[in-house]
Amino acid sequence: MTIYTVEVGGRPVAAMQSTSLGEAEEFLRSDALLNDLTIYEMKGGEPGEPMWDGVAEILVRESFPDEVAVWERIRAKAVRDGDTDPDDENFLTYLRGVREIE
């Protein structure tokens, strides 16, 4: 499987494992994820500014090596902590910390 990254307005936001680009695009452009992108802000971003403003371009691409390393590190911790199953093929992680906009 390959790790794919979703970019919002040219900024890498989240990564997930998938069997194909088409499958990754379907999930990473789902209404549920798009909704999350409008209610969460990313660490290091402007306070109160959502990750996606509803109009910025969303691109799904194969992850760069540093993004794969972040995905692997966060996934390994989630497995150790019991937050995900080692066989979970749909594990998604944000590449930076996020929090709900107040």
pLDDT of residue 82: 94
Whole-model pTM?
A: 0.90
pLDDT of residue 57: 93
Burial tier of 47 (Cβ tally within 10 Å: 0-12, 13-18, 19+): exposed
Mean pLDDT calculated for residue range 78-91: 91
Residue 62 CA to residue 5 CA, distance in Å, equals: 6
Q: What is the CA radius of gyration of the chain?
A: 13
Residue 46 has pLDDT above 80, yes or no: no
Domain ranges of the chain: 2-100
Average pLDDT of the chain, as a whole number: 91
Strand segments (E) across 28-87: 40-42, 58-62
